[in-house]
């Protein structure tokens, strides 16, 4: 248990069986009445923000979030199969749990999986990955000075905007947080 007086940004706590991160907090001591702590909490699984007020000195359970490095093996149809790098155990994660991260996954890619009470609550991809362009319109010679862009389909199936000089077969670096082209690799 941790006192709300000891809140820090980034601290993980448990409320009503859910894990939350402290995003912002404020200790308030009004002139009249008891002191309290106003906190802004982010649900780790859904990402929703909750604003909650606690009495000063109130105790809340600390949420123990675990991160494990896992290797993406293959797509099994309904699930995607990952292998724990420590004990070589294989687990299937449903497409709904992975969300938009699916479009950046390629075989033998190492990712971080977040667990709360032995249940998967999220994954962390590398910030930048290198992927091959499998389909795009051909570039036109001399068309490199303008800021024009075109769509390119990558080896994972994701579609990103790339400059006109990028061609099919090129390897590019993509920012997985924003889904944007960074540079040719």
CATH of the domain at 6: 2.30.30.30
Residues 6+ apart with CB under 8 A from 140: 164
The pair of three-digit structure tokens given for residue 109, joined into one six-digit string: 């890619």
pLDDT of residue 53: 93
**109 and 91 housed in the same domain:** yes
- Same-domain check for residues 117 and 140: no
Q: What is the DSSP letter of 53?
A: E
Domain hosting residue 84, numbered range: 65-124
pLDDT at position 144 is 60
Nearest partner of 22 among 58, 52, 59, judged by Cα: 52
- Whether residues 53 and 99 share a domain: the answer is no
**Confidence band of 142 (pLDDT split at 50, 70, 90):** low
Mean pLDDT of the region 106-124: 85
Residue for token pair 């790098």: 85
% the chain with pLDDT above 70? 96
Q: How confident is the model at residue 25 (pLDDT cuts 50, 70, 90)?
A: very high
The residues, any chain, with a CB within 8 Å of residue 53's CB and separated by 6 or more, are 36, 37, 38, 39
Domain final residue, candidates 17, 32, 60 = 60
Pull the structure tokens for residue 62. 């600390």
Considering the domain architecture, whether residues 79 and 53 belong to the same structural domain is answered as: no
Domain boundary among 79, 94, 124: 124
Q: Does 100 lie in the same domain as 113?
A: yes
Domain total in the chain? 3
pLDDT above 90 for 59: yes
Residue 120 binned pLDDT confidence (cut-offs 50, 70, 90): confident
Look at the pTM and tell me if it is higher than 0.85.
Answer: no
The predicted pLDDT at position 122 comes to 79
Distance of CA 153 to the CA centre of its chain: 22
- Whether residue 13 sits in one domain with residue 46: yes
Task: Note whether 178 and 141 are same-domain residues.
Answer: yes
pLDDT score for 143: 59
Q: Which of 60, 81, 101 is the last residue of a domain?
A: 60
CATH number of the domain to which 71 belongs: 2.40.50.140
């Amino acid at each position: 248990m941790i006192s709300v007086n000891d809140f820090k940004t980034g601290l993980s706590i448990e409320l009503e069986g859910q894990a939350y991160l402290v995003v912002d907090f404020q200790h308030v001591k009004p002139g009249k009445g008891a002191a309290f702590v106003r906190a802004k909490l982010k649900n780790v699984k859904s990402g929703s923000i909750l604003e909650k007020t606690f009495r000063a000195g109130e105790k809340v359970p600390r949420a123990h979030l675990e991160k494990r490095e896992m290797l993406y093996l293959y797509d099994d149809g309904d699930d995607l199969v990952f292998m724990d790098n420590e004990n070589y155990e294989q687990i299937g994660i449903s497409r709904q749990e992975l969300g938009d991260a699916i479009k950046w996954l390629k075989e033998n890619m190492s990712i971080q999986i977040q667990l709360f009470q032995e249940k998967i609550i999220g994954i962390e991809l590398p910030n930048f990955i290198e992927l091959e362009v499998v389909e795009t319109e051909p570039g036109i010679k001399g068309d490199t000075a303008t800021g024009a862009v075109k769509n390119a389909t990558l080896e994972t199936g994701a579609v990103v905007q790339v400059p006109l000089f990028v061609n099919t077969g090129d390897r590019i670096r993509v920012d997985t947080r924003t889904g944007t082209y960074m540079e040719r690799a």
